[in-house]
Amino acid sequence: MTCARCGSRSVTGRVETPLNAFNNLRIGSRLGIAFALCVAVMLALVVTAKYGLGHVRDDIDLINKDRYLKVRWVTDIKDDVNLVVRSAHNLVIHTHVNERAADFKEIETARPRITETFKKIEALLVNEEAKKLFADVQSQRQSFLRELAVLEQLARGDDNAKLRVQLLEKLRPEQHAYMKALGAFVDVQEQRMIDSGDEAARTVTQTSTMMIIAALIGASVAVVAAWSTTVSITRPINQAVQVARTVAAGDLTSRIDVTRKDETGQLLDALKAMNDSLVGIVHQVRQSSDSIATGSGQIATGNQDLSQRTEEQASNLQQTAASMEQLTSTVKINAEAARQAAQLALSASGVAAKGGEVVGQVVGTMEQITSASKKIADIIGVIDGIAFQTNILALNAAVEAARAGEQGRGFAVVASEVRSLAQRSAQAAKEIKQLINDSVEKVETGSRLVGDAGSTMDDIVVQVKRVTDLISEIGAATLEQSTGIGQIGDAVTQLDQVTQQNAALVEESAAAAESLKQQANQLVQAVAIFTLGASPAAQATMTRAHPSAGKAPAPRPVSKPAAAPGKGVKPKPAADVSTAKDEDWASF
């Protein structure tokens, strides 16, 4: 839309929908959510169908594997009971032994079959009501079996009257009660089978209804997701296309408000930055072209002043070159002195190194003396041990001589002398060992002192080497300074030549300034096709541009007045030239 106050068009990135949080997601995330919703609906349909079909399957399994089997087995029991009762009737009717034997066989064959069927039914019972009914059936069966046993016993005899009475008055009532109990049990199982079928039918109906509802909800969700995703992508892209076309037509008044955080919001943000950047560039180009036009006239005016200053610089450079020659001579003398000092330091380092080697040899000799003294001490210890053992032997010999009496007196004298010599030898060995230990301690002390002297000599050697290195570095630095000063002298000479050449280039600068002014005017005409609004970027650019064109640096005092401008330069009005001439060229 168009701004009434500033005359600029506003393009906003807001999509007016209740799903702003959804629209701020990235396009890939939105598409992923839409597809995920569709997949979730499909999964819901599958789960619903599986749930319903599972219930139907359970109901059918319950009918086939429980309800129907019980009804069928009870029917089999009824058939077998009827077979038994018919055989019992035959026992009353038949009088021949062979015929009754066949009837007994029928009864004995049916009885275990009925028992096995009862066990099957009992294994499937889980409901309390069914268990109670089945217990009644078993109770009636036991009564029936008791009366049947009595009938069989009577049939093996000859009293047909009692047999008939047992059949009609005892067995038949028990049969009716037995069949009634079986009928009640079957009725309950059949009703439960009907209930299971009805439950399966209801489950199918509910599942179908739920699947239809889920399909409708899924279709609605898919349509809404597709519509919102499409609108959230296409609408910002269309807005971005509109902005691009407006900028391509040269209209930079569009004001873009970005409120989205997805890729389209980033695109609009980039277009906004591009539009603001173009506005700033155009404003800056306009202001710069005006400044260039103004500055080109001032450049021509200041060329004469530049020429005079160039001549003064040439004179100063000649004096600087003479001073540099004197400084070069002094530095060379310092470099020679540093070289001699480095040689002396190197000689001192060699002497200190030799002294360190000698001290090291002394340390080695002292260590050898210490080792030899320790060995002597060990030998003296051995001698002391031998003297002690000799003393013991002499003592034993004296004891033996005393036992021998007169015959051992001479041997006792000899043993006494030997003992005396052993004691003197032990005392002498002890004194020698003490002297050797004192000598070892003194040698160790001397060795430590010599080691300290060696460490000190090593430190002296290191310090002398460091002094040598420092003097060498000083000499190298002095040599580099001499070389650098020579290069500075050459540079000063070249700078003098360049300064002379700059004087010749001043006249060429005047012609270049005139050409620059013409090109600045052409640049102003070229950027005039753009339409600019009062955008923040343009205002900031104007704020930056005006001070640079309307203000000049503070004036710098010059030694000589500036010369008049060249013929090929059109001077600006007197007010501009008189106030900004010296300031601009001082900055230049």
Q: Which domains are delineated in the chain?
A: 15-237 (1.20.120.1730), 315-506 (1.10.287.950)
Task: Supply the Cα-derived Rg of the chain in whole angstroms.
Answer: 65
Please report which helix (H) or strand (E) contains residue 257, including its range: strand 255-257
* 8-state DSSP, 18: S
Provide mean pLDDT across the span 413-426: 79
Q: Is residue 147's pLDDT more than 80?
A: yes
- Closest C-alpha among 576, 581, 578 to residue 553: 581
pTM comes to: 0.35
Residue 550 pLDDT level (bands cut at 50, 70, 90): very low
Average pLDDT of the chain? 72
Judge whether 282 and 269 are in contact, CB under 8 Å. Answer: no
Per-residue pLDDT at 29: 67
Please give the Cα distance from 271 to 504 (Å, whole number): 50
Report percent pLDDT > 90 for the chain: 0
Provide mean pLDDT across the span 562-586: 42
Please give the Cα distance from 118 to 73 (Å, whole number): 8
Least confidently predicted of 126-140, 153-167, 260-274, 524-538: 524-538
pLDDT tens profile 304-340: 677 677 767 767 777 787 777 777 778 778 777 777 7
Q: Is residue 429's pLDDT more than 70?
A: yes
Per-residue pLDDT at 254: 67
Phi, psi of 10 (to 5 degrees): -110, 125
Our measurement of the distance from residue 152's CA atom to the centroid of its chain's CA atoms, rounded to an integer in Å, reads: 92
CA dihedral 204, 209, 214, 217 (to 10 degrees): 170
Which two structure tokens, joined as six digits, stand for 357?
């080697």
Q: At residue 76, what is the residue type?
A: D
pLDDT tens profile 473-528: 787 887 777 788 778 878 877 877 777 777 677 667 767 767 776 777 777 777 66
Please give the Cα distance from 492 to 543 (Å, whole number): 43
pLDDT tens profile 67-105: 667 777 878 787 878 888 888 787 777 777 777 788 788
pLDDT tens profile 333-351: 877 777 777 777 777 777 7
The CA–CA distances, whole Å, from 110 to 84, 102, 375, 443, 566 equal 7, 13, 119, 125, 145
Q: Is residue 15's pLDDT more than 70?
A: no
- Closest C-alpha among 555, 565, 563, 560 to residue 585: 555
Please give the Cα distance from 237 to 259 (Å, whole number): 14
Our measurement of the distance from residue 494's CA atom to the centroid of its chain's CA atoms, rounded to an integer in Å, reads: 60
Please give the Cα distance from 218 to 47 (Å, whole number): 14
